[in-house]
């Protein structure tokens, strides 16, 4: 039996390229193409593919949200993220959404084909760089920022002073300072500017 595929990417040329890479494999069949996450949800419900190759950053609905919705409606579908992005935040969100694979768009053709077959067979596939990041993330679990610390850091990134952040978050200025000290320790920095820079580099904060 052939493996039925849905290819999701907002760039037509990229979609065509992915379809072309998979063409000629007797056990792979591309049954649909979607240009955004919302369309992917509709097609997944209508076509019931075995595997969805999902881009992350798309208009209308992003790939992470689409992954969650597709798996909620059809848990037997396997979703493989196929993207150019590999920040810690992107990887973590995709895995938490239920993706069983995370590959980069520069994955060689043979590796992509093998990954599709593996995922269809119930295995998990990760690009080597993604696997390294996940392992490092587990090791550094203690360094993860709490929800409140993320709020404080995001406010710092917007240029807020300790007093302004306290007013915005309904906490005292002393509490803001305590959160900042914990953030500095977890990120291995010693000032506000470096904390924001490191958080952006690691994907903890999104660029404004």
Q: What is the mean pLDDT of each run of 10 residues along the chain (208 residues)?
A: 94 95 92 97 96 95 94 93 83 85 92 94 87 66 77 94 94 90 85 90 79
CA–CA separation, 145 vs 157, rounded Å?
15
Q: Can you give the pLDDT at residue 141?
A: 47
Q: Can you give the pLDDT at residue 208?
A: 63
Domains annotated for the chain, with CATH where assigned, are 3-139 (3.40.50.2300), 145-201 (1.10.10.10)
59: exposed, middle or buried (Cβ count in 10 Å: 0-12, 13-18, 19+) = exposed
Q: Under 8 Å CB-to-CB from 116, ≥6 apart: which residues? A: 3, 5, 22, 28, 51, 53, 80
CA–CA separation, 73 vs 4, rounded Å?
17
**pTM greater than 0.85 (yes/no):** no
């Amino acid at each position: 039996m052939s493996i039925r595929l849905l290819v999701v990417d907002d760039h037509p040329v990229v979609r065509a390229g992915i379809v072309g890479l998979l063409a000629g494999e007797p056990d792979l069949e591309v049954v649909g193409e979607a240009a955004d996450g919302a369309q992917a949800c509709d097609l997944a419900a209508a076509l019931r593919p075995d595997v969805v190759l999902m881009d992350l950053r798309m208009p209308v609905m992003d790939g992470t949200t689409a992954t969650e919705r597709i798996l909620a409606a059809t848990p037997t579908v396997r979703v493989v993220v196929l993207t150019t992005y590999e920040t810690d935040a992107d990887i973590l969100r995709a895995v938490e959404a239920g993706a069983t694979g995370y590959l980069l768009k520069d994955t060689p053709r043979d590796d992509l084909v093998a990954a599709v077959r593996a995922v269809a067979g119930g295995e998990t596939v990760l690009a080597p760089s993604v696997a390294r990041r996940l392992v490092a993330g587990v090791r550094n679990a203690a360094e993860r920022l709490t929800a409140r610390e993320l709020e404080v850091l995001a406010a710092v990134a917007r240029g807020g002073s300790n007093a302004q952040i306290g007013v915005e978050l309904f906490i005292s200025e002393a509490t803001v300072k305590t959160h900042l000290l914990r953030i500095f320790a977890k990120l291995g920095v010693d000032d506000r500017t470096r904390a924001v820079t490191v958080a952006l580099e690691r994907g903890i904060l999104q660029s404004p």
